[in-house]
Structures are given as structure tokens and as C-alpha cells.
Chain A
Amino acid sequence: MAAFQERPVGFFTDTSICIGCKACEVACKEWNQLEGNKPELLLDSFDNTGQLDAQNWRHVQFIEQIPDNNGVVMNPTPIAGGQAWLMMSDVCKHCQNASCLEVCPTNAIVRTEYDSVFIQQDVCNGCRDCISACPYGVIGFNEKTGTAHKCTLCYDRLQNGLQPACAKACPTESIKFGYLDDLQAAADKRLAALQTAGYKKAQLYGRDAKVYGGLNAFFLLMDEPEVYKLPSAQNATLPSRNNLAGYAGGFVTAVVGLVAGVLAFRSQRMNEKTDATR
């Protein structure tokens, strides 16, 4: 099959129709031959995967939003009624301004012809700086390969004209793959429909440039971003924001330190001199 055109592609993950089946998690592992972490019983609602990491490039979050009302739901539209079981399939956001790419010292992290953010496994040396930088906790370190791993946006599949495995497996089409502009148009339509239907908190995350210049893998959320462990637009900051202040602080400290040192050694010399003339 022909490869995809070389223009921005991405995901529109519509959490409002996710059923939490985790087919995406499994499909990703199958395609990418990830064996998964050792099974662990977390029982965080129905989640036993825990987080995105080197073995989990998709992770379905389960968020139980049930106010204390003796389990009585008075409103038949659950989310409007304040009672909801939110599910969201999380993944690398393929940020326009990618924190991981920014800090990577080896240029192992690159932007591909599809505008995705990709870790070149043969270049990465496992310094893990990208892990400290990614604001979404996406990247994990694989002890066996000694390198950092995350969603590749199925780079290998795209080059062969196949859509990403997770999107392909998703039975509800909660994960929609496509060219970014098409996805954005679809997302706008979907959001409008939900808002008309009374889902007032529904919102798009990463659709526009407010977080990290826009996310190529963006989401439709049914509540505030923090609920899904996503930084809000205000909190979505790049690591490099601290470069200037950090170095400036260091520079000032260096100067003051030098002055402090000179003062210490000079003042003693004065004493010595007076001593000598005495």
C-alpha cells in the first residue's frame, strides 16, 4: 500500500465514546512486540496498567466521578448529572513544541515527515532527559534496550500505508487517525454536537495552539484537563522556560561568589600587609 502523504497526521481521541475496552493498549503491544510489565493488581477503578511507560504506549484511564448521593442518579444524562465513569485512552501527544525533543542532547528525538515526534532507537543513549521533560509522563526507559521508548505513531505502519494499530483496533472509533486538518474539522463538529446536547464541560484539548503549540494527538475531554492528568493551558510549560533564569541565576551567583572569594582572600592580605609593616 502506498505510504501516507508527507503532511501532518495525528489522532483525535474522542473520550466521550471510549468504552474502556483497552483494545488500543493490546493492539499497540501486539504490533510493537511489547511484552508488557509484570501483571500487577492496581484496581484503580478498572485500570491495572497504571501509566504510560516503555511497555505501555497507550494507557486507558478510568475516572469514577460519582458524588455522594447514595448512588441515586436523578438525571438521565450522566455527565450533566455530575455522575460519570470517564475513560480516556492516553498516548504521546506528538506536541508541536515537544518538551522531549527540546532537551534531548543526542538528537535521537526527531520530527518525522508526518510531523510526529519519534525516538530513533539507534541513536538514543538512554540518558533519560526526555523523561524528565515530557509533561505528560509519556516516555519510559527500557532496561533491556537501554533506551527511551514511547509511541512511534506507528511510523513503520504509516510508511506502509497502514493506519496506527491502536486506531485500527478501536471498536468505537474513539481513536481517530488521519490528517491533522481533517481531524480538527471533525473534532469541531463533534464538540458542537456535544455542547448542543448539553454537555457543557466538553472541550477540546490540544486542538489549538494553547498547549505546546498544539498537539498532533489531541483529545475531546468531558471535563477539565486536570481530571485526566493533563496540565491545563496555564500549566503547560516548556522545560526551556527555565533556561534563561537558570543560567542568569547561576551567573549572578558566580559573580557574587567570586566577589565573596576575593573579599575573603583580599581582606586577609590587607591584614598581612599591615602585619608586615608593623
Chain B
Amino acid sequence: MDRARQLYVQGRSTWGYETEGAPLDGPPGTTQARAKRDPTLQHPRSVFQLLKSHYSRYTPEMVSSITGIPVQQFNDVAKIVGEMGKPDKVMTIVYAVGLTHHTTGGQLIRSGAVLQLLLGNMGRPGGGMNAERGHANIQGNTDHAISWDILPGYLRIPAPGQKSLDDYVAASAAKKSDPNSWNFFGTNYRNFTVSLLKGWYRGVATTSNDFAFHFLPKPATNSSWMSIFDQALKGKMEGVILSGMTATSIGPDTNQVMQALSNLKWLVVMDPLPTTSSEFWRAPGMDPAKINTEVFMLPTTHWIEKDGSFVNSGRWSQWKEQVIPPEGEARHDHWIMADLFDRVKTLYRQSGGKFPDPILAMTLDYNDPKKPELAEIAKEINGKDLLTGSQMTSFANLKADGTTTAGDWIYVGSFTDAGNLMKRRNGVQDPAKNDPTGMGFYPTWAWSWPANRRVLYNRASADLDGKPWDAKRPGIQWNGTTWTGDVPDYPATMNPKDPAAWLPFIMNGEGTGRLFSSSMLDGPIPEHYEPIEAPIPNPLHPAQSEDPVAFLYDQAAGRPNRFGKVDKYPYIATSYRLTEHEHYVTQHVPLLVGLQPQAFVELPEELAKEKGIRTGDRVRVTSERGKIEVAAAVTKRLGPLTLAGNTKVYHIGIPIHWGFIGVSAEQNPDKSKYWLANALTPFVGDVGARTPEFKAFLVNIEKID
């Protein structure tokens, strides 16, 4: 496996376009290579032909033997999907964690995007590859860089060795590879970055110090969720602050996560409610006497108790009001953080430190820096023109000369001098007025990034002449002088027939959709790999069954890998949500507990018969990492699968919502001991995003007598 990974990583530098002709102009003083193009799609090394031969291996029979879907059924679905490639048809793919919770999560999503590009369903109203975001504000979270590898607005986190802003932009911004490519993001990368730095470090960030670029961290390590707990396991973490996140319930391999928490000196839990993390030391199987972690509980307000914005899957940032006032001593998260920051700053000021500058220079331009209002923060995120003092209205006006700020460039325009546009509520009360195009855009309902545009890449909703692919479903269209409809992602008056007109995919260096991408770690064209724990070897290439670059934390840290094999754990398990519960927090809501009162697993009727299990019986489900003891729900909905031609495999479904905390756990202290679904899941995840592989692993099941 190691060798395979090595070869793979070495090969990555060869993933790229063949180039031809005179280089194109890049940022001042640089040039960019021109990608070779074949509009006939016939060249055997064209992306299209490569895709074709790559996917010719995925015959219906092969798909069936990998997934278990009957060939006939696959063909039926394929036929319907294929028909969605016509101009008068459009299809969307909505995905969530069914795709992401795999070692190949990123590639699964990319394969959907490739399919949609091929069908011409990108940029069209009703089309796209749409992430159905999780928590009410997951979209807002990623937009504002809750992920470890980005800065706000999906700017990359600088890497070690990038000494200057120039280095950073050169390494991070997309490069133009076609003369007709606008390459909007790449072109503006510097404007966005400087405006961000000006927002953070205001007076200290000047042309003379590269706008304090040196303040930004350039992490050499991966700081994904699993990596954090891996570091703790290795004893390299002193403390952790968990805010609105229940590590012990949500992470893979709970027992190992609890071990990691036991290695800490201190743990701060910021939460309105007790969680399995704030109480991890008294989890069944833990010995409180042996745990030296000091646990602090900082009661916060719940999101119902504060205002602020939720950003939905369609990127609409919707301002919400406080529903109920905070209870007890709960404090807003942002007030706790501001207070904490203030104390850290004071300490740095008083006693110095290794690198106090970024902390001392941080702009906190609020009425009360220890109690910022969320509206103030939103206003700051929008950014302003430092020369005039007015709020920015468009990211197109952001500058690299230090005269503009933007806390997050994609939110520029959300909070202008006209006020907080995210508060707008012109909706279905009056569709004729509020939805002039009739396409459901409702442009004055809240505000969506970027630029209040409702459909991304909407230039692709019209053909090369600017006519909608489907007159009944226009996105934007060229009326001879200007683009109308949704907020165009194209220069408003750019004539599509002008030979110099931009290609539709304005954000990419190519100007076109990326059927080929060198940005994925495990391959430019998606390929099927089995999960790390799989019941069969990969029918495509048994010798390299799983993703060759999946990062194996345990192995890398010198701990034994804890993956099970099919002989001991013959059943596939997957974990998922129930509508009735929101992860672990609704364990505190009696009415919802009433709807789904106790932990259970679903298993197929045939398997249940074999094992003598009936609905309501208690069962033990085990994996190489742990066990759960829950009720059984026997159902015909989970039929057996036939894989790899003739291997019959059973599937066990594990809802994730229970633990040793909450109404039901307290009512059933004996039963609830082993209710944490993640006691079973493997400590491994997607190659790039490091999202854990919650959706496929191996288990055994037996009846508890």
C-alpha cells in the first residue's frame, strides 16, 4: 500500500494539460501556458476521449457487481438520467453526506459534477451539483473558513515557504489557460486577499509590509478534525476548545477519541447543554480516577437565543431574529471568544511572547470590543472603502492597494449603506412583484452570495449566442444590448458574439467546466475505490482495492491499524440520521425523544431470520473498534445485495443519534450504556477533505440473550 501511495504521489506532478502556442499574459510580469484545445473532441488524448475510455470500463454489469444494483434497474435509471441532457430538460443532483462520508468523498462529488457538465446541466436553473448543507449554517461556516485549509471566501491558507504576498498569490490563484477565459477569481485573488488583510490588520497592514501577510499562519500540518485528535493521541495537544461540537459523539472511533481527550491537560466545552464530551470522563467504560483532563463547561446561548445569519444550501444568507432571551448565565459564543481574545491580548501586551504582533494588531472596530454585535460583524465582513468610509457594494471594486476592506469577499454587497440586505423578506406574499422572472429567484428575499446571484455560472444557462437553452427556464439571456434575468455572472453588456467574449465558466482558468482537474489528490478523473473496510475486493482492480492515498492515521502514528476483515465482520454497516433527531442535541428535547425514544439498528429480514433476531430484541453490533448494544428493527427495506457477481452481502443500518447523555439515556441507564454509534466507525477519511468514512464499514451482529 505504501508503495502504491508513493507512486501515486510522485505521479501527481504529471497531471496537467498539454500546452501549445504562445503563452498568455499572466499577472504583471508573468505569462501562463495555453492549454491545447480540440473542439472536435476527437484527439485521443483530449479530456473527452480520455474520459470515454476511462469510463468504458464501468459497464452496467460492472456497476452492478460493485454496488449491487440490478443491471436492469441501473439501465432504467441511466436512461432517465441520459434524457436529461436535452436542452428542454434539466436535472439536479442533490447530495449530502451519503457522498462525502467516504474515503473517496471528494471524487464522488466530482463524478457528479462531471456528469452534470457532460449533460449540460451546470449553470442552469434547476441544474447543478448541489450540496445539501447540514447544520442550519454549515454553508456559512465554510464560507467563513471554519475548514482548516481555507481563509474566508475560499482563499487558500498560505503554505510554508510562501514568503510574500506574491508567492502566495502565484501559488494559489488559478491561471488562465485560454485567451477567452476571464479567470475572475484568479485575476482578483490579490484584491481579495489584501482587502481581507486590511480588514483584519487595518493600520498595520501597509504596502511596505506586504499588508502584514507575514501575520498569517502557514501551517505545515493538516489540522482536519481527525488530525486534531490524532495529535492529542500522540500527546501533542495541551488543550482543546469544543464549541457547538460534540467530539465524542460525532467523531469516528469514539473510544479512541475519548482516549485522546483523556490525554489533554484541559478541555473547554462551550455549549448550552451537557454533551458526551463535557461528560466524557464518566462515559461507560471510562475510569474517572485515571483521567487528569480538567474539563471546563462554558454555558453558551443556543442559536435560538441570538440573532445572526443562516446561510442555506442555495447560498442565501438570511438574517434571523433572536427567538427567546438567553437563560441563566449563558453567554453568546462571540462574546466568550471576544473576552478570551481580550485576555490573551492583555497577556501578550503585558508579558510579551514569541510573536505578539498579529494579536496586538487585530482590528476590533466594535462599540464594545468585548461584546460585539453580530450586525457589527456582518457589516465588517461586507467591508468598506477606506477612502470614502462607505460600505463596499461589489467585490469587483475591491483593490489590492489597501484602500478597501472585505472580511469575506463573497459577502461584499450583503450589508451596504442601504442596510442589512440579508433581512429582506419579499417572498411569496406577492410572487408577481417579488419574483419578476417567475423562476423562483426572489431577488429581494435575503441576499445570496456572490452579488445576490441565485444561480452560479448562470452564463451557462444560455447558448453561445446568449439564448436560453430552454425558453421556459431562462437563467440569464442576451437581449441585444444587455443580459437580463438573474444577476448575470458575466459582464452585463458583454456581447456574446464578440470574438473576445469570455467563456462561460468565468471562475476557472480554462473558462470551461473542469472535466479534468489536477486539484484532487487521488486522481484527475474520478475512479471507484472500495471503502477501507469492504466485503469484496474492488472488482475493477482487486490488487488496489481501496483509495491508494487514503491517510491511515494509526499506521502513520505507529499505532496498529484497526480495520476489520470480512471473515470476522461479515456485514456492511452504514450510519445515518433520522428525521426526528438533530444529531445529539435533541436528546434533550422530550417531544422528539418520544418520537424515536431509543437507539436501534435496522437489519434485513433474511439476516434476522438467520440470527433469530426479532424486532425489539436487543442486539450487539461489533466492529474491530468497539461495540454498541441497542434494539433491533427488522425490515424488508434493507434487502441483501449481490456483489462481485455472486457474493451475497447483508447491510445493517445504524442511526447515529444516541449516547449516554439525554432524556432517554437517563431514563434507561442500563440500556443506554453502549449507544454511541461511532464506537464502531473507522478512524480514516477522505483523502483531501479528511471527512470520516461513516458510510461504509464492516461489523458483526448478534442477539443479546
Contacts and interface: CB of A to CB of B under 8 A. Distances in A.
A41 interface: yes
B598 A41 contact: yes
A64 B637 contact: yes
A97 interface: no
A45 B593 CA distance: 16
Contacts of B638: 71
Contacts of B591: 26, 29-30, 36
B640 A71 contact: yes
B631 A37 contact: no
B579 A20 contact: yes
B579 A21 contact: yes
Contacts of B77: 76
Interface string B614-633: 01100000000000000101
A58 B578 CA distance: 19
Contact of A39 (B70, B597, B636, B637): B597
Contact of B635 (A30, A40, A49, A64): A64
Contacts of A46: 578, 580, 596
A72 B70 contact: yes
Nearest to B604: A71
Contact of A22 (B595, B633, B639): B595
B49 interface: no
A70 B468 CA distance: 46
A85 interface: yes
Nearest to A22: B595
A48 interface: yes
Interface string B570-605: 000000001110000000001111111110100010
A46 B667 CA distance: 21
A37 B594 contact: yes
B580 A22 contact: yes
A76 B76 contact: yes
B667 to A, nearest CB: 7
B73 interface: yes
A161 to B, nearest CB: 15
Contacts of A72: 70, 73, 639
Contacts of A37: 594
Given A26-B591, A43-B615, A71 B636 contact: yes
A48 B595 CA distance: 6
A19 interface: yes
A19 B579 contact: yes
B238 to A, nearest CB: 41
A185 interface: no
A76 B81 CA distance: 12
B483 to A, nearest CB: 34
B664 interface: yes
A127 interface: no
B31 interface: no
A70 B663 CA distance: 38
Contacts of A74: 70, 72-73
B80 interface: yes
A256 interface: no
Contact of A43 (B76, B80, B580, B616): B616
A76 B77 CA distance: 7
A193 interface: no
Interface string A13-31: 0000001111001100110
A19 B579 CA distance: 9
B579 A39 contact: no
Interface string B637-676: 1111100000000000000000000011001000000000
Given A19-B579, A41-B597, A71-B604, A76 B637 contact: no
Nearest to B595: A22
Contacts of A110: none
A227 interface: no
Nearest to A39: B597
A76 B597 CA distance: 33
Contacts of B70: 72-74
Contact of A45 (B80, B616, B635, B663): B635
A37 B594 CA distance: 8
Contact of A26 (B76, B595, B639): B595
B312 to A, nearest CB: 14
Given A48-B596, A72-B70, A22 B616 contact: no
Interface in B521-552: none
A154 interface: no
A66 interface: yes
Contact of A36 (B594, B604, B640): B594
A76 B579 CA distance: 24
Given A26-B592, A73-B73, A74-B70, A43 B637 contact: no
A76 B590 CA distance: 38
Contacts of B595: 22, 25-26, 48-49
Contacts of B80: 76
A43 B631 contact: yes
Contacts of A25: 595
Contacts of A19: 579
A92 B11 CA distance: 67
A250 B161 CA distance: 101
Contacts of A73: 70, 73
A40 B594 CA distance: 7
Contacts of A68: 636
Contact of B637 (A22, A36, A41, A85): A85
A102 B615 CA distance: 40
A36 B667 CA distance: 16
A29 B80 CA distance: 42
Contact of B597 (A20, A48, A66): A48
Contacts of B641: 71
Nearest to A29: B591
B582 to A, nearest CB: 12
A6 B664 CA distance: 44
Contacts of B639: 70-72
B600 A39 contact: no
Given A43-B631, A71-B604, A71-B639, A36 B590 contact: yes
Contacts of A29: 591
A71 to B, nearest CB: 1
Contacts of B631: 41, 43
Nearest to B638: A71
Contacts of A45: 633, 635
22 contacts: A19-B579, A21-B579, A22-B579, A22-B595, A25-B595, A29-B591, A36-B590, A37-B594, A39-B593, A41-B598, A41-B600, A43-B600, A48-B595, A49-B595, A64-B637, A66-B636, A70-B639, A71-B636, A71-B639, A74-B72, A76-B77, A85-B637
Interface of B: 70, 72-73, 76-77, 80, 578-580, 590-598, 600, 604, 615-616, 631, 633, 635-641, 663-664, 667
Interface of A: 19-22, 25-26, 29-30, 35-37, 39-41, 43, 45-46, 48-49, 64, 66, 68, 70-76, 85
The 7 closest A-B pairs by CB, nearest first: A71-B639, A39-B597, A66-B636, A21-B579, A36-B594, A43-B633, A39-B594
Given A43-B631, A64-B635, 15 more contacts: A26-B592, A36-B594, A39-B590, A39-B593, A40-B597, A41-B597, A43-B600, A46-B580, A46-B596, A48-B595, A48-B597, A66-B637, A70-B640, A72-B70, A72-B73
